Structure 1
């Protein structure tokens, strides 16, 4: 007669699978999703990982889909409604996609997102996009070329730098204030800004910031 132990089935060591918990968004996150889906937002231009968004109030915001998500809108919450707009209405992600809830993306996620096509219904009108390209790209390129075009700073012989008090040599790199036109060694200006913790290029002499124009200009003597 067989024993009970021999006839019994082996014990089951596998634990039952737990039911997958469904993501429950917080109310602020749900509100941002609603705004991203229903506000009058349109895509103006897409360039690699950068998306130019026309906001509901007419402002243009720049969304960057990279390792760290970013948007130029005033909302410091990530993801903001403009990032969610790109996810949901430009790229067509479903509401349960995990990328919607992330502040940072893995390289594989970035590659997957950037490989998705743009949904045509997310685009702004043709005339609006053409106007944006005229204002943003054409003027931007012409302004950039004018800023990088070398100019001459007229410096009197024996003129000293207001920071290091050394005479400015003929082959040295100098910059000049766009307001008072006083020249200064480029390296001295950078050191002065770093030591003073100044992010803006304020003039050492006249202290003007709004109208200052500082560039890499060659020295000439008069």
Structure 2
């Protein structure tokens, strides 16, 4: 009788069985444990542009239609936030430096007044082959810079010179980043000293004329130039004239120092007197640089 009055012994549950009580207890326990905050708070230094503003397109057209020359490229920054400085000539022969980083900038007067300039757009699109949705941004995130430089054309170094065989005539000229035309081989020279790189003859003349002091070198592998000796003999390594604080090599390139404004639309000149919220100091005319 006493055994009949005792409560039944608790049944042992199997290890894999989970009760509602277990779930409730675990949920309460997780509330008390502070989870580390996942932060990704990198701030864009300028407002994000979901699409290019109307004022962008005309500058972009000039960046792709006018002739520029790249004199030097230097990669910098860090692996997490890569950067690059590109030394180039403007359309009137002035030498500017474009810095591609979190906030791209250029030493040209137009950009220093707070405007987006064609030199930055040229470097982003033609030199670095950046995705278009990043070309028109005024500021970039470090992850976007990683994307750009992961697929950008490499910068050649002297150690990369391997053979004296001429490369196939295809791809872009390493100075102007315009396409090489195999059908017009007379206008193309190549590095017979080391890397075999093809270059527009006009571009090579410009490159050689801007190298003051010392011997003319290949713009790709930096080996002393060995190729068309008559072409090298014609080159005079005079220093460019200084105009308004900029070195100008227009005379050496055979181009005019006068700015060609024929491609600047009348609409563009009038309407950019209005303030654009995407640009700073936009009350003045944007055309020209």
| TM-score band, normalised by shorter chain | 0.3 to 0.5
Q: What TM-score, normalized by structure 2, do the two folds share?
A: 0.35
Q: What TM-score, normalized by structure 1, do the two folds share?
A: 0.45
